[in-house]
Amino acid sequence: MNRIKVLIVTCLVAITAIAQNDKFLLDYKYTTTSDKETIVDYRLHTSTEKSMFYNTTSLWMDSISRSDAACTAYGEMAASMMSKGQGAAVPDRSANIFVCKSFSDNSMRVYDDFDDQFAFYDESLDEMRWEIGDSVKVILDYECVLASTNYHGRTWNVWFAIDLPIHDGPWKFHGLPGLILSAEDATGSHKFEAIGIERTDTPIPQMYRQDWYSKEDRKLFLKSKRQYTDNPLAYILQSQGIPPNANIKVTDLNGNEIDPNSLIDSSFDFLETDYR
């Protein structure tokens, strides 16, 4: 038996040493490169039973949306910041995907939105199949093993920690005998990288605004989101019944007028590309 196989067997045995109520918090830096590099922070709150992957600002904004007083306070704060030319620093929920996994019933529910379209869809945890490699490297002081998968249109290479035997990872990644600390697609255009990990006693959060979402087909939703991403102004005008030749002024968060064509980024594509 080679070294990698010994490590995997050890990892599978070690999972019995993790109590059912043990939870971990992992912070990830998500980087995507198209015309420009974009970096977003995400958090994975996970256990042996279930997990939630989310952006902390988006989760916080959803939580305060249930309080009129909190919404008013946020509006006043945002208006004040924009008046000072700090519009770009106003907290927003642009990182708006939430991935909730349930290992007890082998299911995953994804919440996503764009413009005013809020959707959720369900997937089985059986879709992601892995090939474990023979390479090892250290991430955050944890020895990690290389694995790869083809999933929904992309090839991914990931590194999972053999000493953290929870079958989870950032975004939709799961199913390996250890927490995934790094994942990058074969084109190098999308990458998740763990930048911190700790044990926690805090409960895994729930969705605050499930009432916003309706069930949709994953591929149909992504097709609509693609249309919006390709030309958000045209999509919004069409959805509002406004003629495409209407005289519309577009401004940034600081009130400066911008060219609508600058909003179009056709070089960017989603984490999943099988919607085409």
Q: In this predicted model, which residue has the larger pLDDT, 133 or 116?
A: 133
As a whole-number percent, the residues of the chain with pLDDT over 70 amount to 80
pLDDT at 269: 87
Amino acid in the structure at residue 100: C
Q: How far is CA 29 from CA 110, 111, 127, 222, 227, in A?
A: 20, 20, 25, 23, 27
Q: Which residue has the higher pLDDT, 235 or 29?
A: 29
Cα–Cα distance measured from residue 159 to residue 59, given in angstroms and rounded to the nearest whole number: 27
pLDDT of 234 higher than 80: no
Q: pLDDT digit string (tens) for 86-104?
A: 888 888 888 999 999 999 9
- The answer to whether residue 215 scores a pLDDT higher than 80 is yes
- Contact assessment for residue 55 and residue 93, using Cβ atoms and an 8 Å cutoff: yes
Q: Tell me the two tokens of residue 182.
A: 């790094």
Whole-structure pTM value: 0.84
| Angle, alpha carbons 38-44-49 (nearest 5°) | 155
**Structure confidence by residue, pLDDT tens digits, 183-197:** 999 999 999 999 999
| pLDDT of the residue at 265 | 61
| pLDDT tens, residue by residue, 23-62 | 999 999 999 986 567 889 999 999 999 999 999 999 999 9
148: its two tokens: 């790869």
Give residue 109's Cα distance to chain centre: 12
Residue 266 has pLDDT above 90, yes or no: no
Compute the distance between CA of residue 145 and CA of residue 133 in angstroms, rounded to an integer.
Answer: 7
> Phi first, then psi: what are they for 266, rounded to 5°?
-75, -10
Note the pLDDT of residue 31: 95
Structure tokens at 36: 């420009």
> Cα–Cα distance between 4 and 12 in angstroms, integer?
12
What mean pLDDT, rounded, does the chain reach?
87
For residue 1, name the pLDDT band (cuts at 50, 70, 90). very low
Residue 250 has pLDDT above 70, yes or no: no
Residue by residue, DSSP assigns the chain as: --HHHHHHHHHHHHGGGS-TT-EEEEEEEEEEESSSEEEEEEEEEEESSEEEEE-HHHHHHHHHTT-HHHHHHHHHHHHHHHHTT-GGGS----S--EEEEETTTTEEEEEEEETTEEEEEEEETTS---EEEEEEEEETTEEEEEEEEEETTEEEEEEEETTS--SB-STT-B-SSSEEEEEEETTSSEEEEEEEEEEE-SPPP--S-GGG-EE--HHHHHHHHHHHHH-HHHHHHHHTT--TTS----B-TTS-B--GGGG--TT---S--TT-
Give the separation between CA 28 and CA 185, rounded to whole angstroms.
Answer: 15
Q: State whether the Cα torsion 28-175-95-182 is positive or negative.
A: positive
